[in-house]
């Protein structure tokens, strides 16, 4: 990891740059994929699956028999772990249900707001070297709590043209039976445009690599919304002498092993901790199965020392991390001043892995600095709000002159007439 001591404000912008490719560099490929899927449907999906995933498929739909066989092959201990995680995630997202808001603004003027589910949602589940079955829990559970009518799941097939047993088990556990073996840009295009096999959806969810992120952003041009721009994983740890160096190193590596384009940062006010963490990184990485991936990620990652917590806090908010771990003596004061983060983990015994799997919070979070504008996935992500109003005759008598005055000032005569005609009728009565 690269080291920086009290970097100046001029250096901060460089230090917060992520390594993901720009939208403009990948947009031409995404447009090509979307155009071909629009024109050729399933045949285009087959072509791109063979090209990008190196596997030739005749069809994409997962057969119920495949699901039953997969369920039998998943170890019971893992099943129990997934079931417990499902319970925790359900409880946290169920608690996010809000009551209908209804207000009598003034006599005879009633306004209310109701939240309704988005009808058709598409879930993208990353595959590759580490199929993220946990992401199914994070997306399918709030979709079901919200009451979405159609839930479509796409995930890239392995070299044998199959989805992993645990992905099929988890999807089935969450009540999803519309599952397709297709990934990457072509999966996003399929769910956006619809094909002979894959139904089109209203909103897309799920993390992915830079190709998937660009495809999701392009999907917004086709009247399909997305949860957020989410690219390579990132983690920042802010720690002082009270932090456990062994734990800190393990957390840094837990995100570094996601992929070579992941980025992890350690921000510390204690030089001794930095040395201890560095030693632990070297010791722990040597026994990881994904050590090469983690080593490549660490090459682009940083250790930053600040003399005081005030500077550390300012840099933390400037960076805006997807995952943020705080291990400080005065953790409460620091946490209360955090403005930009996807999800915050507090104390030595709150590993980021807890949020990834089973604590109950959602692990689908904005990256690349988008925490300034976007929230992580939550129940409201699967809902839309509709407002209503009903005005009585008395209410219009009281409110009408206000509307007339404002419409007249904006030069919108028809707007004014819509009120004036009603008031005239009431006066005649």
- Active-site annotation, residues: 322-323
Q: What's the DSSP call for residue 257?
A: T
**What does the alpha-carbon distance between residue 63 and residue 222 come to, in Å, rounded to a whole number?**
30
**What does the alpha-carbon distance between residue 45 and residue 65 come to, in Å, rounded to a whole number?**
23
- Judge contact between 158 and 127, C-beta under 8 A: yes
Pull the structure tokens for residue 149. Answer: 């009518």
203-205-208-212 Cα dihedral, nearest 10 degrees? 0
**What does the alpha-carbon distance between residue 361 and residue 355 come to, in Å, rounded to a whole number?**
6
CA-based torsion, 365, 366, 372, 378: positive or negative: negative
**What is the widest separation between alpha-carbon atoms in the chain?**
88
- Judge contact between 198 and 183, C-beta under 8 A: no
Using alpha carbons, select from 196, 194, 200, 198 the residue that is nearest to residue 181.
198
Residue identified by tokens 């995952």 is: 323
Pull the structure tokens for residue 101. Answer: 């808001």
With a CB cutoff of 8 Å and minimum separation 6, the contacts of 169 are 67, 70, 71, 74, 79, 82, 133
């Amino acid at each position: 990891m690269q080291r920086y001591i009290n970097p100046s404000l001029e250096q901060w912008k460089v230090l917060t740059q992520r390594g993901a490719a720009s939208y403009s560099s990948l947009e031409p490929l995404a447009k090509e994929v979307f155009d071909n899927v629009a024109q050729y449907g399933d045949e285009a999906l087959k072509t791109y699956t063979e090209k990008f995933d190196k596997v030739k498929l005749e069809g994409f739909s997962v057969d119920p028999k495949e699901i039953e066989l997969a369920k039998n092959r998943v170890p019971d201990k893992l099943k129990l772990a997934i079931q417990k995680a499902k319970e925790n995630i359900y409880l946290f997202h169920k608690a996010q249900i809000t009551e209908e808001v209804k207000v009598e603004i003034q006599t005879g003027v009633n306004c209310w707001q109701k939240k309704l589910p988005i009808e058709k949602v598409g879930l993208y589940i990353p595959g590759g070297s580490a199929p993220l079955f946990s992401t199914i829990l994070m997306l399918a559970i709030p979709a079901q709590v919200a009451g979405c009518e159609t839930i479509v799941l796409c995930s890239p097939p392995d070299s044998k043209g199959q989805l992993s047993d645990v992905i099929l088990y988890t999807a089935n556990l969450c009540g999803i039976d519309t599952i397709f073996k297709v990934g990457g840009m072509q999966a996003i295009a399929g769910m956006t445009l619809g094909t002979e096999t894959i139904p089109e959806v209203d909103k897309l969810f799920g993390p992915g690599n830079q190709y998937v992120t660009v495809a999701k952003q392009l999907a917004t041009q086709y009247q399909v919304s997305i949860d957020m721009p989410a690219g390579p994983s990132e983690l920042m740890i802010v720690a002082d002498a009270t932090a456990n160096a062994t734990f800190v190193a393990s957390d840094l590596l837990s995100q570094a092993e996601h992929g070579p384009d992941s980025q992890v940062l350690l921000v510390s006010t204690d030089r001794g901790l930095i040395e201890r963490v560095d030693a632990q990184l070297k010791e722990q990485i040597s026994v990881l199965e994904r050590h090469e991936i983690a080593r490549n990620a660490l090459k682009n990652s940083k250790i930053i020392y600040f003399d005081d917590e005030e500077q550390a806090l300012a840099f933390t908010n400037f960076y805006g991390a997807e995952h943020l771990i705080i291990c400080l003596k005065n953790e409460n004061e620091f946490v209360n001043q955090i403005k930009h983060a996807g999800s915050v983990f507090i104390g030595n015994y709150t590993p980021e892995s807890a949020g990834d799997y089973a604590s109950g919070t959602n692990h689908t979070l904005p990256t690349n600095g988008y925490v300034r504008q976007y929230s992580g996935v939550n129940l409201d992500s699967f809902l839309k709000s509709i407002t209503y109003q009903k005005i009585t005759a008395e209410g219009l008598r009281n409110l009408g002159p206000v509307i007339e005055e404002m419409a007249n000032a904006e030069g919108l005569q028809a707007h004014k007439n819509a009120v004036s005609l009603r008031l005239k009728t009431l006066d005649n009565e």
